Amino acid sequence: MESYNSFKVAQKQVIDAAKILNLDNATKELLLWPQREFTFTYPVRLDSGEMRIFHAYRIQYNYARGPAKGGIRFHPDETVDTVRALASWMTWKTAVLDLPLGGSKGGVVCDPKRMSERELEGIARGYIRGVAELLGVDKDIPAPDVYTNPQTMAWMMDEYETITHRHQPGVMTDKPLQVGGTEGRRDAVARGGVFTVREACKVLGVDPHGRIAIQGFGNVGQRAALLHRELLGGGKIIAVSDSGGAIYSDDGMDPRELVTHKLKSGSVKGFPGAKEIRQDALLELDVDILYPSALENAITKFNASKIKARIICELANGPTTPEADIILFNNGTHVIPDILASAGGVTVSYFEMVQDAYRFFWDEGIVHERLDKKMTKAYHTVQEAIREKKVHPRLAAMVVSVARVAEACKLRGWV
């Protein structure tokens, strides 16, 4: 399989949108690159007594529409270009949902699977000591990402407040409820995606109770399985996969039983009544709805023509390559692109910031209702751009986002 530089893919998406919008060169150049990049190293003492130096990044891609917003990941293969790409996509994600935020991302090069809880706390606190001056509710607001979680955010928030001597829970989002987190955050990515699938089914005349496949049965994939049935009243899950393998059952599989099996055994393999299939074969099954919820670049020019799904809801970051987008569009497959489909997480994180700001928290039902409203409006705004510009859905979503950010840059007098 070809390897892709994620940042070059992200830049090409901006170039394509800028061409449709007839943006001038200065505006296009401004939007092609991060506005601020910070690369640093810092020491952490391990449980063994060894002092180890860690390399880290914080990239603020664009903050014309508001403070930058984006996660922090701990990963052994983290690179500056990966962080740039993710910061870029966060910028377009907040813009397509019309949130008053920009986009950012951060990362630490480390292998959290080999580290103790105490060592992970040291990495989290050391990261904040390195970037504290760049952060703030009016500057840049981190959240969890790969191999980080609400506990990580609690440590980071505490370290930030220790440095600034001020109580500012809104500086981190997706925190535990007890320290300023919000109801409705745990399943927000999947819930937002299912809301967009509901709207796509209405527009396209697709039965939401049809056949479903889920690539990637981690937290997001599991919640998508449960919520599709809960919110849309049905749906037959015929295939799921995770890093351990893929399974198939033409009769369908109960999502609650699937989740229970995965949590007990650690894999979807061995689920009663299902047979094992190749992981790449899952993408090519005859289904109505496909949820890619795992890897980047899973759908490429090599397999796009074999995909039979009528709707693809991208809950993973960057699961479809640019060449595959064109093939899918020409074949009549409706893609709900990641910057829209998976934007429920950042939307509820924004709600968390709002609640932290005035120390008044909403019931879970209100969070769900407001998320539904934001996702539904954004989906139909992108649909209008598809019809008006006659472009594929990802380009339409980028056109909406880039236009909004470009307008803010121009109004500010930056270009």
**Catalytic center residues:** 105
Does residue 342 contact residue 394 with C-beta atoms inside 8 Å? no
Rounded to whole angstroms, the Cα distance separating 156 from 136 reads 12
What is the residue type of 33? W
Q: Which two tokens stand for residue 360?
A: 């008044």
CB contact burial 274-283 (16+ within 10 A = b; e otherwise): beeeebeebb
**C-beta atoms surrounding 198 within 10 Å:** 18
Q: Cα dist. 211→184, 214, 228 in Å?
A: 27, 10, 11
Rounded to whole angstroms, the Cα distance separating 200 from 335 reads 9
Distant-in-sequence, close-in-space partners of 401: CB < 8 Å, separation ≥ 6: 17, 91, 92, 93, 95, 96, 339
Query: Strand, coil or helix: what is 215?
Result: strand
